[in-house]
Structure 1
Amino acid sequence: MKQTILKLAVLTAMTGATSAHAALDLFQPENNKTDDLVWVGHMSPDTDSVVGAIMASHLYGGTPTAAEAINPETTFVLNYCNVESPKVTSDYSKFQVGLVDFNQKTQLAPTVKPESVVAIIDHHAIGGAPINAPQVISMDIREWGSTATILAANAESLNVTLPKSIACVGLGAILSDTVVFDSSTTTDYDHHYAEKLAKLAGITDINDFGQQMLIAKSDLSHLSADAILTMDYKNFEFGGKKVGIGVAETLTADQLIERKADFHKAMKAYKEAEGLDYLFFSITDTKHKRANLLWVDSAEKQILKTAFNTDINSDMLTLDGVTSRKRQISPSIQNAIEK
């Protein structure tokens, strides 16, 4: 398969380093000292973030963790695959840290010291607020559909056969981030490694597994608007502005749309509490492949009008064919703010 990747692999020995840790060796893991190594994804962890930490710790050593409580879809995947949930960790100050599924300081657990970061494995653009560390960091960043896809490829390169359970969660992470291959972020690599992982996991019907995940993700009736708002949420810095974008992917979008008033109230309170300049929330209809965007005030409404070049005549903007925060929503909002 032709390699068309953006891959940064920056390695250093850094003998005699003091406060900063040496970059992790992603090519010869046996060279690494991993007694105090932990792996963690972004705040408001999703399935790819949690599974990325599990897969990375299996390949490179260390312990998988989560920065906050995991969501219902991730819980379903871990239970389905019989994998123990990573420990939710609040204090990272005493560890060397490998990061998965993000590279922005706005999404970093607050107790992670930049000088403790030894690796970043990710599939997102290096945006407006990348993590700035005083030392060289090993990076593997590719424009693929999920971090799990990258780690599956790395396992292959290292001649590591993933156990059935880890292959299973890896498949789940790919299906989650690509919305069962329906997202515009899906690549040929995601299809290729999903099939390989499915074979290792003994899963014969990939689509059925993905549909079960979507159903698990869709049942949000028991959660408050506040909880749903931040369940799949990311902070960004665009043009010097603090921007929050939350997403709820669901097969039953109408159930959440009926709660618009609750979301507007929750968004207003959250925006004020966090000191955000802009806050957006997408009720993403995975069944009909469209985003239903909510906002707090007229400034955000104007941003959305510019971002998507459309008039807005109601309290919600519906965008057919828009399902990806990474590829569609976030870049459009960034461009509008930075104009």
Structure 2
Amino acid sequence: MKSPEYSPIPILVVGHTNPDTDAVCSALAYADAYQQLTGETTIACHLDEVAPETQWVLEQFQLAPPRAIADVYLHVRDVMERDVPRLRPEQTVRAAGLIMQERGVGALPVVDDHDVLIGLLTREALADRYLEQLQLSEEIDLPVAVLLQTLEATLVSGDALRMLRERAWIATQRADTLRHSIRQGDIVIVGDQPDVQRAVIEGGAGCLILTDDAPLDDDLIAIATERALVVLRTRYSPFAAALLIAQSVPVGRVMQPEPLCCLDDDLLSEAQTLLRNQGRASLPVVNVRGQLQGLLLRRHLAAQSRRRVILTDHNHPDQTAPGVPESEIIAIIDHHNLGGLQTLRPLTILCEPVGCTCTLIAELYQRNQLQLTPQLAAGMLAAILSDTVHFRSPTTTDRDRRAVAWLEQQSQQDAATMARGLFRARLPRPTPPAAWWVESNLKTYTFGNHSIGIGQVELTEIETVMPPIEQLQAALSRIVQQQRLTTAFLLLTDILDQDSLLLAADAQGEQLAVQAFGQPFVNGSSRLEHVMSRKKQVVPRIAAVLADGS
């Protein structure tokens, strides 16, 4: 983790809320096209739940679904260091120090058997431990096996599984005075001094550590063996051996327990503030189960602060993902009217009057001779057939028809056969409640001071499967209250009959619709013949009435 170069944060390509097939497939297609054109990493995303029709498309043509997201804010997981060494509490501080030196970090997380964060070992804690152990006055609590490993020692006598629980110190006295200093079980460090070695063994020590590969007479080995005294031999000097013993302490005794940490889903801006205010070198990152995911480092304080996003199939603020207004929008690919988004910088806008966003993207593939897989071509074909209702919608253009013909070739699919499958897949099984009919394809439009919700469901024989009108009106009324709308409508479109029923949330909505279409409401609905397009036939008329009344 030594000063690596940043990998640019991927660009998110995302459609509108309550995504339809065009919102999902245009995000997939443009993410692929943009990556081919620029070489930048993109991720196709979707908001909310994928509609049954769209799910059918993804499964039928084996398309990997876009990433499900709740917002486009930058989160800790977008920048955190993932390649993080983990310590276990039983590892020695020496092993931890070597890892710190090798990886160039000032702190290491400590985890349990389930990768749950239980502590943090910092460089400062290691330094404090070093200073404490210079006096060698603290009792240690270590198995012989750990000392063998730390000192790179050989076992001359004794049991490698034995626990040592006394002082560790260097024998600097003469042999005749040394005996009075030894406590039962002490760990005594001795060089090539036979008389001192004998004094240690006969004085009741628990462990003799021979430094500088010092020899030990056979008779002393016999006495040590008889007394079950542990004797180790190491190549290190007495002072070096003493320091290494101090570093044999397990990490669990030195670490900071329950350290300050953040969640991988936390907003990056909030975690950056926490890291900055605490003056720490790093902040462990965990998931909701407490399992370690990575580290947020001080170099991440300078990380990109705004997410770069591309919007497909929408541009109205009310239809965007949370966080879009605070993001850097670098492109909008759409076929709807412009809806008043404000951007930080100039951007690419491809917004033209065709029946489907995927038509514009298909033309982009053709112009630039980009590679297109049959699976993605099938998804784009399905999106155009869905948005244009297989050319029945008045939004259909010759460009849509040409795009369909080209995509049929690229996907090796028949448009008519695909359309039948699409329309059959639109209604979930079992028949969903009224809230689904209102909310599954609801879009909110702002006209001056008015916010109007307009939902649409397109099916065949729709009047035979729709819930009672009273239930749909109640669901519309709830949406008006929850979202503080002026009013709301539901357009129930029969694909084959090529007309629609219009429902309103309240009397204000009915009055607005009568002014817009000149058709009365009978038993809670108004029949609109040859009206199939929300965008082209409903929104402009509502906007015109509100503009005249403003």
Q: State the TM-score bracket (shorter-chain normalisation).
A: 0.7 to 0.9
- Displacement of 1:90: 1.1
Question: C-alpha separation between the residues in 2 aligned to 1:221 and 1:338?
Answer: 41
- Displacement of 1:285: 1.1
Q: Aligned pair 1:281/2:255, yes or no?
A: no
- The residue that corresponds to 2:402 in the other structure is 192
Q: Which amino acid aligns with 2:442?
A: Y
Structure 2 counterparts to residues 26-175 of structure 1, below 5 A: 35-61=9-35, 62-94=42-74, 95-126=307-338, 129-175=339-385
Question: C-alpha separation between the residues in 1 aligned to 2:312 and 2:470?
Answer: 35
Q: Which amino acid aligns with 2:473?
A: H
- Displacement of 1:309: 2.2
Identity %: 27
Which of these residues, 463, 468, 481, is aligned with residue 259 of structure 1?
468
Question: Is contact 2:73–2:327 with CA below 8 Å preserved after alignment?
Answer: no
Question: C-alpha separation between the residues in 1 aligned to 2:436 and 2:429?
Answer: 10
- Displacement of 1:256: 4.3
Deviations, residues 8-39 of structure 1 (Å, cap 9, x unaligned): xxxxxxxxxxxxxxxxxxxxxxxxx9742010
Question: C-alpha separation between the residues in 2 aligned to 1:55 and 1:103?
Answer: 17
Q: 1:34 to 1:121 in 2, by over 3 A?
A: farther
- Displacement of 1:98: 0.3
Question: Is contact 1:246–1:280 with CA below 8 Å preserved after alignment?
Answer: yes
- The residue that corresponds to 2:161 in the other structure is none
TM-score (norm 2): 0.54
Q: 1:71 to 1:177 in 2, by over 3 A?
A: same
Question: Is contact 1:73–1:216 with CA below 8 Å preserved after alignment?
Answer: yes
Q: What secondary structure does 2:425 align onto?
A: helix
- Displacement of 1:224: 1.6
- Displacement of 1:115: 3.9
- The residue that corresponds to 1:213 in the other structure is 422
Q: Which amino acid aligns with 1:178?
A: T
Deviates more, 1:150-159 or 1:259-268: 259-268
- Displacement of 1:219: 4.7
Q: Which amino acid aligns with 1:320?
A: E
Question: Is contact 1:245–1:280 with CA below 8 Å preserved after alignment?
Answer: yes
Deviations, residues 163-190 of structure 1 (Å, cap 9, x unaligned): 1100000100000100011100000011
Q: What secondary structure does 1:270 align onto?
A: helix
Structure 1 unaligned segments of length 5 or more: list them. 1-32
- Displacement of 1:66: 0.2
Q: Which amino acid aligns with 1:91?
A: D
Q: Which amino acid aligns with 2:438?
A: L
Matched residue pairs, number? Answer: 304
Q: Which amino acid aligns with 2:61?
A: C
Deviations, residues 76-114 of structure 1 (Å, cap 9, x unaligned): 111111101111101311231000001111111122234
Q: Which amino acid aligns with 2:329?
A: V
Question: Is contact 1:243–1:277 with CA below 8 Å preserved after alignment?
Answer: yes
- Displacement of 1:161: 2.9
Question: Is contact 1:114–1:131 with CA below 8 Å preserved after alignment?
Answer: no
Question: Is contact 1:284–1:291 with CA below 8 Å preserved after alignment?
Answer: yes
Q: 1:330 to 1:256 in 2, by over 3 A?
A: farther
Q: Could you say which structure has the larger radius of gyration?
A: 2
TM-score (norm 1): 0.86
Question: C-alpha separation between the residues in 1 aligned to 2:525 and 2:345?
Answer: 45
Q: Aligned pair 1:268/2:248, yes or no?
A: no
Question: C-alpha separation between the residues in 2 aligned to 1:260 and 1:271?
Answer: 17
Question: Is contact 1:39–1:99 with CA below 8 Å preserved after alignment?
Answer: yes
Deviations, residues 301-329 of structure 1 (Å, cap 9, x unaligned): 11001101233343100111000001001
Superposed CA RMSD in Å reads 1.5
Question: C-alpha separation between the residues in 1 aligned to 2:534 and 2:21?
Answer: 15
Question: Is contact 1:249–1:283 with CA below 8 Å preserved after alignment?
Answer: yes
Q: What secondary structure does 2:479 align onto?
A: helix
Question: C-alpha separation between the residues in 2 aligned to 1:261 and 1:82?
Answer: 39
Deviates more, 1:91-100 or 1:256-265: 256-265
* Runs of 4+ with deviation above 6 angstroms: none
- The residue that corresponds to 1:28 in the other structure is none
- Displacement of 1:252: 2.5
